Structure 1
């Protein structure tokens, strides 16, 4: 009898695992059975993130038809599920820019602020939060302009700062992040439903935690911008030194009675991929759902592990699949390149593997967008470097210029899913047959 694992093309196998991970992270699956009962008053839905459109559609479908429901959710451009776009429900979904905020995001944030006015203790606010909400929910604090926030966001994205560091800065420049949205919703009850895209699944980091307490401080934010040499608008540094833009902290009475529920996480997505591999008779190993670091370096480390498995059967016996998640970073040292952290990871891995026989690697962002391009990620095969050289392309040169997208495009090895309507961050799979 043919072994189904070995009968499947390596590319098809890796794509199958990615699809399984994305399917597990769909909001409709996680929201079923997690919604509270309708309140005595009205139910207002507010939210932001790359999964916002799909989360709104799922809530609308699951909420009783005879119970009042309204609200506004902002998501990334082209991230509204087609069925909901064609037949909108009771929750309005608008689109804005990511990863750098734009006027549409600012307008949506202002409308959300206005919708919180007049809430009572009999009302319920459902907050739908997912990765990307930090940029999409752009409400600059006093003394900050949208142009200021755009410049700081661009600098943070190029700096190599971790997602936790970036969101610490964002919280202290916002009128909504870091628990401030929850404060605006008082005295209504707030239930936050979250799809995690951060290592550790900390709700205060996901989309900069608009409805949860923030333990970070202005002093922390100031230390981060100084560490990475990021310029601040005039007066903001002094305001941070005085603690004038501080966020609500743990223990604040405004959070009493509020609930936070994680409805999809990176670990769940990795477990779904592992289950899909095992269903094909392939042993699967999850390294971690919290891997961070410079993308190319993380690629080198994964390559070293894959070589050890391929050559020595350690620490895992072959055939096997090795899975990991988290959020790597790219410190931009050269301008003009095209690519994201997934393809940068893959170039680092390919150069370290040097054509290692029998090792195939896929890396992708589970939202379907690697950086700002149209691909989710790409694939590395044992002949990646050789095929690149045959086309006159050098992987090291592409890596040095942060230009991974054209490299994998020329090879026909981009992974394109289109928007997935969810976001549980990085997905990486290595197949060693």
Structure 2
């Protein structure tokens, strides 16, 4: 029996295969080298590497491997704790690990040193910026008058608020001394190349990691409005800086960004397309809904469940057997204390309740960085037997959803997907298999 036949007989393995393909498409080692420019003339300029994000370690590794040995190279990259690729020992770059999603002192100190490295750059120097999702928390340098504790409290409140990623990053960049284009502006008059891996709906570079190297079209007034909308309490210094405009970010048209170039190395859509191709290679029809789906995780789960039921029962709008794929970044409004789980697992719990064991429907949802929120899993699986198996263990899906405890629901079932850090990040991956 061929490997394709084996996958078709094992829905769990098939869904995991599609997830692995999606992640592989976004690995820096596969995509970074082709976008590197030639080194500057060492007698005139130098090459400085600056970066932050969950993929930062893998991006630094790929750059060091591809950069000519005889060409000078130095710099600093920040990644999440535990996200340095196994066996990677930086030779020419410094790699620092820091906390995510709530920043810590290690990230603050590294961000301050990174900003200091931009001093004295000239027009013949080249700065390569490696930016990926998670960089906003990792690159935490509070605006003047704010403390790290202020930023931590605001970040925690934003994460629990249900705000969309663009809204959260609007606030974050205006309370930062390095994000929202400030790092890019500090590199002037050097040549700057930003290499990004997108983890945001729409692939807006001003939202990825709060856009440290690109100009920002949002305003202090926007940040204030978002805080009011979600009930985010601001310390006096933060409110004063936003109300006065003192914390305004560099805007499009700023001459300090003249000649800057940005290349998108990997996007959610590209990973979804790779997974779709893998499904078709197995003889399954594959359909991509969108790479920009946002909203409350449990509600988006219900929407996906409704679509899966329509296909399972009526062969509409797609004929079964098929795979339906989607991406984006959903949100979780945390209303209970003590629960465990992230966007992907809460999406699945909402979907499982809506499906009620629909025959032939299997789901996988997982974060492509390998970590769902702050847990040790990327996501989980739902099968037609999920609710029955849970009931046999005394687990109530609705009770655990009300408690924001999706991790606590799926873990006893053995249905968590736990690949560990993947060293890239193109956001949520969701696959519905209807047989």
- Show CA shifts across 1:8-66 (max 9, x none): 30000000000000000001212131001111311000000000000000000011111
Correspondences of 1:172-183 after superposition (within 5 Å): 172-183=174-185
Determine the structure 2 residue equivalent to 1:401.
403
| 2:346 counterpart (339, 344, 347) | 344
Distance 1:417 1:272 in 2: 19
8 Å CA contact 2:363, 2:383 repeated in 1: yes
Matches within 5 A, 1:203-282: 203-282=205-284
Which residue of structure 2 lines up, in the alignment, with residue 31 of structure 1? 32
Task: Please tell me whether residue 128 in structure 1 is matched to residue 107 in structure 2.
Answer: no
Q: Once superposed, which parts of structure 1, at least 4 consecutive aligned residues long, lie more than 6 Å away?
A: none
1:69 aligns with 2:73: yes
Q: Is the contact made by 2:8 and 2:282 (CA closer than 8 Å) also made in structure 1?
A: no
Residues 88-137 of structure 1 deviation map (CA, whole Å, 9 limit, x = unaligned): 22111110000000000001101101111111111000000000000000
Whether 1:81 and 2:85 are equivalent positions in the alignment is: yes
C-alpha distance in structure 1 between counterparts of 2:125 and 2:318, whole Å: 53
Instruction: Give the C-alpha shift of residue 181 in structure 1.
Output: 0.1
- Equivalent-residue separation in structure 2 for 1:279 and 1:89 (angstroms): 40
Deviations, residues 221-248 of structure 1 (Å, cap 9, x unaligned): 0000011111111132232122111000
Q: CA deviation digits over 1:382-428, x for unaligned, max 9?
A: 01001000000000000000001111010000001000000000000
Shift of 1:5: 7.1
CA distance in 2, matches of 1:386, 1:235: 53
Distance 2:117 2:252 in 1: 25
Which runs of no fewer than 5 residues in structure 2 stay unpaired?
none
RMSD after superposition: 1.1
TM-score using structure 1 length? 0.98
Q: CA separation in 2, counterparts of 1:214 and 1:37?
A: 29
Residue 4 of structure 1: CA displacement?
A: 2.3
User: What's 2:330 paired with?
Assistant: 328
Question: Contact 2:286–2:323 (CA<8 Å) still a contact in 1?
Answer: yes
**Counterparts of 1:42 and 1:32, CA distance in 2:** 19
Residue 100 of structure 1 aligns to a residue whose secondary structure is coil
SS of match in other structure, 1:68: coil
- Displacement after TM superposition at 1:201 (Å): 0.1
Distance 2:237 2:333 in 1: 28
Q: Select 1:51's aligned residue among 37, 55, 69.
A: 55
Residue matched to 2:12: 11
Higher mean Cα deviation, 109-118 or 162-171?
109-118
User: d(CA) in 1 for partners of 2:33 and 2:345?
Assistant: 34
TM-score by length of 2: 0.98
CA distance in 1, matches of 2:69, 2:148: 39
Q: 1:176: how far off?
A: 0.6
In the alignment, structure 1 segments of 5+ residues that lack a partner are none
Contact preservation (8 Å) 1:4, 1:281: no
Between the aligned partners of 1:370 and 1:236, the Cα distance in structure 2 is 30
| Match among 389, 392, 397 for residue 391 of structure 2 | 389
Question: How many pairs are equivalent?
Answer: 431
Any conservation in 2 of the 1:25–1:424 contact (CA below 8 Å)? yes
State how far apart, in whole Å, the 2-side matches of 1:204 and 1:88 are.
Answer: 28
- Which residue does the alignment assign to 1:185? 187
For residue 6 of structure 1, report the CA deviation from its aligned partner. 6.8
1:84-99 alignment runs, 5 A limit: 84=88, 87-99=89-101
- Picking from 117, 120, 130, the partner of 2:119 is 117
- The answer (yes or no) to whether the contact 1:43–1:69 under 8 Å persists in 2 is yes
Matches of 1:312 and 1:22, distance apart in 2: 32
